[in-house]
Structure formats: structure tokens, C-alpha cells
Amino acid sequence: MMTDDEKALFRLYTMADWLEFKGFKQKKILEELKPYDNDWKRYNPKKPNNRWGLSVTSIDGGLSGIPDLTSLLDYELQTGICLKNEDLAVPTPVWTDSTELKRLLEPWKKWVTRCHFLRMDRGSFFPDHNDVNKHDFSYDEIRLIGFVDCNEYNFKWLYDDKIIKGSPGSLWYFNGNKRHSVFSTQDGVMLLVVCLKWDKDLFLHILDNSKAR
């Protein structure tokens, strides 16, 4: 028999693949990120393709990017330390010092795990994939995406063979179980990636706060 949390997740998956929430002031976010211009780190450095990350949360509140901007599976193979996204949930100064980011994330704070800005420079991409955890079924997560600095001319998000057009300053839940790929054709394309630990209360929060309610 399914638990209430599992039932809630099933209901979310039957509702919609994309749900929009109240967004953010894109220009203010970009202005408040300027003090961190030198803190961007290679995203998943074992697979370099011009992707960069800036930690909003991390394992210790620091901006080293290790291990929060790397593959946790690779990190476990290298160190023997097994981590989950929920182990990387300590806010960094990027969160605590940005008034606009703080305003955006505070309503979700009790569920936020790994969170970072992702900068995709020219030629970077994520190949076709599904965000499915094949190694641990003990907990579930969903993901929010904030479109920070991108447009239909410099950024392509292919989702289940459809092109997604997210306007700058918008925040979305998306069903990452469906296959998707992402491409950047110029420098500076930026997204906000927010992982959320799942429970029934998060489902109720989504129902109360999505624009589709």
C-alpha cells in the first residue's frame, strides 16, 4: 500500500509536466550575483563542456563546489563517501546575502536540498537524459527551474520532443522523469536549479501556490 507521500507524488505526476510559480526580478538577481563573479566552478568537472555552477547550498555553506557541483556517484567512487542531495542543503552566502534570491527561496526552504545557479556558455549542453535516481529508492525529490538569463535565440530546452520557452524571471516545477536535453548557443545563459525533498506537505504547497490553481 502506498504511503500518503507516495500518493501525493503520483497525483502530481498526473496533473501536469510543468507548473509555474511566482517568479523573481531577474535583473536584481543578476546584480546581486556580481560579487561572486570569481566563485563560479566547473560543473561536473570530469565531463567538461563549458558548464559552470555557483552554489546556493553546499555541504558546509562554502563555495568550493565540492561535492555539490559534481556527480555524487563519481564522488562516492573516488572517496567512498555516500551523499544525497539532502546532505548538501547548507545555505551559502549566495543565498543569505541576496535579498531577491532569499525572497524566492524562503517559501520552499523546508524542502530545499541541493541548489545552485547553472551557467551554460557557448556550446555547452546536457545530452538527452532522465532525472531518475536508479540507485536509491529510499526518498523522492522533485526539481524547480528558474529561467534567469536566457531567450529562445541563445537557449534550447528540448523536453519530450517539444521546445520549452521559459521567460526570464519565471520559476517552474517540471517532471524530470521525462527525457530532456538542453543546449546553449552563446555565453552567459543562466538557470537556477532547486532540488526539493518530497513529502505530502510539499504537494499541498504546490497546489496552493502554482499559477494553475
What pLDDT score does 132 carry? Answer: 75
Cα separation, 197 vs 138, whole angstroms: 11
Domain ranges of the chain: 4-208
Cα separation, 4 vs 189, whole angstroms: 38
| Amino acid code (one letter) for 125 | F
User: pLDDT tens for residues 147-186?
Assistant: 999 998 899 999 988 999 889 999 999 999 999 999 999 9
What pLDDT score does 138 carry? Answer: 72
Average pLDDT over residues 69-89: 93
Reduced to 3 states (helix: H, G, I; strand: E, B; else coil), residue 76 is helix
Reduced to 3 states (helix: H, G, I; strand: E, B; else coil), residue 72 is helix
Question: Which of residues 138 and 101 earns the better pLDDT score?
Answer: 101
In this structure, are strands 141-149 and 90-91 parallel, antiparallel, or unpaired? Answer: unpaired
Q: How many CB atoms lie within 10 A of CB 75?
A: 17
pLDDT at residue 134 is higher than 90: no
Q: How confident is the model at residue 73 (pLDDT cuts 50, 70, 90)?
A: confident
Percent share of the chain, pLDDT over 90? 83
| Superfamily of structural domain 4-208 | B-lactam Antibiotic, Isopenicillin N Synthase; Chain (2.60.120.330)
Question: Which of residues 110 and 211 earns the better pLDDT score?
Answer: 110
What pLDDT score does 213 carry? Answer: 62
pTM: 0.96
What is the crossing angle of helices 4-15 and 200-209, to 10°? Answer: 30
CA torsion through residues 111, 12, 85, 101, sign? negative
Q: What is the mean pLDDT of the chain?
A: 94
Q: Outline where the chain has alpha helix (H).
A: 4-15, 26-33, 72-79, 93-96, 99-105, 200-209
Reduced to 3 states (helix: H, G, I; strand: E, B; else coil), residue 28 is helix
Taking CA 111 as the corner, what is the angle to CA 93 and CA 46, rounded to the nearest 5 degrees?
A: 60
Question: Which of residues 122 and 137 earns the better pLDDT score?
Answer: 122
Q: How confident is the model at residue 79 (pLDDT cuts 50, 70, 90)?
A: very high
User: pLDDT tens for residues 137-154?
Assistant: 677 999 999 999 999 889
